[in-house]
Structure 1
Amino acid sequence: MLALTAAGSLFFPGLYLLSKRTLRHLVGRSEQDAAILSTRLVSSVQAVMASTAGSIIAWSCRDVMEDRHWLTDTYILFATPYFAYDIYAMFLCYWLKQQVKGHEEAGIRSVGVAVVGFLRREMLLVLHHVFMVSFCFPASLMWRRGRGDFFQGVLLLAEISTPFVCLGKVLIRHKKQNTRLHKINGGLMLLTFFTCRVLLFPYLYYAYSSYASIPVYMVPLVAPWQCNLGAALLWPLQLYWFTLICRGALRQFTAGRSSTCKEDREDGQTE
């Protein structure tokens, strides 16, 4: 148990440092750019590993409550340190951005100012990560008492959308919003986020209702309180983030149409 957690504690920061060093010294990226790209890379690697593990677990468990798969507890133990690492990596990226903007201050005070600013900017994401470690970790390993590996596997599939989210942010950072790659990635991000995050919790309740042969609306009354609490706190976050993604896609679509109309008018005047 401790060995797996220790391995995860070394793997994710180690991959970050290796990627950052490579980008800095072999590719010639700036400190800030290397940190941001490395953070996105590690998040994408973790997402691929999690969704792969989730696919194997969910596919292997025919009985959604009783079937077990060794990969369930193994990956949870290995991946839990990622959420603590990711908070630090996100803070480091934020701090480097502030320094580039000329907002840094000397000594301890600069760290304190950066922490406050970071928490104001990323409070929801930080709370999400803290909740994953403080609540979801014990709920997944102890409170469920070895049952429901299928549901754990399905929950891991939520990470499928993460690589598309990371790629979209990288493309925006490098002013590639109008490229075909960004448009394709945006479509895949919307599809995977809606399917694997927004529809995730309704599907979990539906799957249990089919297993227990009860109506879906009865599931919250018989499900463990930990499941209901986790869904009540995590699902609204997914809905909120999906709304932000949709707003961003709508702004880009509107801006693209405005740009096209302007070009058409200019072409007409030239003719």
Structure 2
Amino acid sequence: MWQVLVSGVVVFPGLFFAFRKVLPSVFSRWTDADVVLVSERLISSIHAIMATVAGVIVVSSCSRNVITDRHWLATYFVIWYGVPYMSYDIFAMYLSHYYRFRVKGREDYQEHSLRTVSSFVQKEFPLVLHHIALLTLLFPFTMFLRNDQGDYFIGCLFLTEISTPFVSLGKILIQLGKQDCWLHKVNGIMVLLSFFMCRIVLFPFMYWAYGAHYGLPLYAVPLHVSLAANLGNLCILSPQVYWFVLLCLKGYRLYKRSGKSRGMLQAEPLSDHTKEE
């Protein structure tokens, strides 16, 4: 077990280091901020794919009895790759924040300091809190507090990562200057759909599945499960709702901007034609 844990600790920082070395040779005009951001996004996608595959295996294997059915991945994926990834990702997000402001010429970002760390935590507080909540709530619950029950629901939580590759692809396309291409627009729709289904709807679905097992209506399930489980779900769900609202607002702004651009393009030929007449 410890060998696999070490591999999880090594894999993500190792890939991050490798991407930071390879990407500048492929995209020579990229800044350090570009390289770090894309490296972070690529590794997030790799972890998300691993978590999604693990989630599908666990959910499909434990669907007969959502309480007592067991699968070893429900516990060991968290130990082997979940905890190492969340710990690494906090550091990677900090580096992305640091280089983004350093490239902009901020004098206080010429070297790492408590001030740059504090600025990162303040600016990215929801993300940092989300990661810390997973490390301090999901890990102890997975390992010690569920009495070897509920592997099905742990697998469901793995499936929240389905939206991550789409989010990462959107950021990478923006870095490549492809935000106006059809792929970016289609990917934006997939971001909203996958995020809504797998990070928001998934939680009432888990309550429904629990209620179906015990013959309870959905509204009665929160009163039947433990306070710790309700609080844990709330801590995970709350930032998801916040981020989904931000995604919707961003999509709306892009839609309005696209509409204005089309209006300008349609008006220009009419203007030229009028001048010729």
TM-score calculated relative to the size of structure 2: 0.93
Q: Percent identity?
A: 39
Partner Cα distance (1:73, 1:84) in 2: 17
- Quick one: distance in 1 between partners of 2:5 and 2:136? 15
- CA RMSD of the aligned region, Å? 1.6
Match of 1:104 among 86, 103, 107: 107
Match of 2:201 among 199, 202, 218: 199
Q: Which residue does the alignment assign to 2:35?
A: 34
Residues 58-81 of structure 1 show CA distances to partners (whole Å, capped at 9, x for unaligned) of 011121011101111121111211
How much does 1:102 deviate?
Answer: 1.1
**1:129-157 C-alpha deviation (Å, 9 max, x unpaired):** 01111111010111011101111111100
**Hey, what's the Cα distance between the residues in 2 that align with 1:145 and 1:75?**
17
Map residues 1-271 of structure 1 onto 2, 5 A cutoff: 1-25=1-25, 27-28=27-28, 29-61=30-62, 62-78=64-80, 79-105=82-108, 110-271=112-273
| Structure 1 residue 2, shift from structure 2 partner | 3.5
C-alpha separation in 1, matches of 2:17 and 2:57: 29
Structure 2, unmatched stretches of 5+, are none
> What is the rounded CA distance, in whole Å, between the counterparts of 1:38 and 1:158 in structure 2?
21
Corresponding residue pairs, total: 270
Give the partner amino acid of 1:8.
G
Structure 2: distance between partners of 1:117 and 1:70? 40
The answer (yes or no) to whether the contact 1:98–1:104 under 8 Å persists in 2 is: no
Farther off after superposition, 166-175 or 251-260? 166-175
Compute the TM-score of the two structures, normalised by the length of structure 1: 0.95
Distance 1:226 1:248, change over 3 A: same
8 Å contact from structure 2 (residues 133, 236) kept in 1? no
User: Contact between 1:4 and 1:74, CA under 8 Å: does it hold in 2?
Assistant: no
Cα deviation digits, residues 186-217 of structure 1 (max 9, x gap): 01111100110010111110010101101111
Task: Render the CA deviation track for 1:16-51: whole Å, top value 9, x for unaligned.
Answer: 111111113455344322211110010000000000
AA aligned to 2:104 is: K
Detail structure 1 runs of 4+ shifted over 3 Å in the superposition: 1-4, 25-30, 104-108
What CA distance in whole angstroms lies between the structure 1 residues aligned with 2:156 and 2:76?
Answer: 15
* Structure 2 residue matching 1:199: 3-state secondary structure: helix
Tell me if the contact between 1:55 and 1:153 (Cα under 8 Å) persists in the aligned partners.
yes
Residues 5 and 80 in structure 1, CA contact (< 8 A), matched pair in contact too: no
